[in-house]
Amino acid sequence: MRIVSLVPSITEALASVRPDALVGATDWCTHPADLEVTRVRGTKNPNLARVRELQPDLVIANKEENRELDVRRLREAGIRVEVTEIETVPEAVATYERLFDDVLGWDHPDWLAEARELWCGPLPPVTRRVAVPIWRDPWMVVGSRTFTGDLLRRLGWENVFGDTALNPAGDRYPHVDLAEVDEAGADVVLLPDEPYVFTAEDGPEAFTRTPTDLVSGRLITWYGPSLVDAHRWAAG
């Protein structure tokens, strides 16, 4: 089977089982670091001509990460496209189980069973309130109905912008003023290194009221083998 993955998390997951089946991936598919495949540009602007040239048996996309227009054009070209939809950690685990069982016919990797055990139980009590900017100038934060928000909640961390009082429209990634983030009542502002690359010199200096913590974007936004790493990171 020849597979093109347009989703970084799914690329990493498939490569953990059969890297040789992957013939194409996006420029943002950075894990595993030694993956050698044809790059097909970004998740929002894939080079469809290059995808077609690879003659894949299957292209895997995601409703949030990829555009419906690109999916439609690939299907019109006669290419099979599997579209995933993931807003919670249990949905991610179930999606992989379905992909490996029904779509690919592959054995499950060990990390998948571990992820189900670690993440798919009852919600723990809230011990921490957090805000998670994903961009600045303009500032954007993680809002309602997001994978990241669900992952944090399953760690016992409440996303303050998942709260309808601060996000009355229920936006998934609302635009906000910096002051709104700094005064939202979070115990800490988590600053990931993707999609915006927050660093020690770019991000923490903007906040005068709320402590900040630089975190790996992969640990709180990716779904795949990173789920095991994310749980260990939070526990440590």
Backbone torsion region of residue 78, taken as left when φ is above 0, otherwise alpha when ψ lies between -120 and 50, otherwise beta: left
pLDDT number for residue 164: 82
pLDDT number for residue 163: 79
Cβ contact 22:54 at 8 Å: no
Burial of 137 (0-12, 13-18, 19+ CB in 10 A): exposed
Cβ contact 60:6 at 8 Å: yes
Within 8 A by CB and 6+ apart from 158, the residues are: 126, 128, 129, 130, 152
pLDDT tens digits for 80-113?
Answer: 999 999 999 999 999 999 999 999 999 999 999 9
**Where do we find the tokens 């993680």?**
142
Percentage of the chain exceeding pLDDT 70: 100
pLDDT number for residue 236: 80
**Where do we find the tokens 């789920």?**
227
Sorted by where each starts, the structural domains of the chain and their CATH numbers stand as 3-85 (3.40.50.1980), 128-235 (3.40.50.1980)
- Residue 69: φ, ψ to 5°: -60, -45
Q: State whether residue 37 is helix, strand or coil.
A: coil
Residues 55-72: what's their mean pLDDT? Answer: 98
Q: Which residues pair with 128 in a beta bridge?
A: 157
pLDDT number for residue 95: 98
Q: Kind and range of the H or E element at 38?
A: strand 38-39
Mean pLDDT across the chain = 97
- Entry pTM: 0.94
CA atoms in the 13 A half-sphere facing the CB of 39: 10
Q: Is the pLDDT of residue 126 over 90?
A: yes
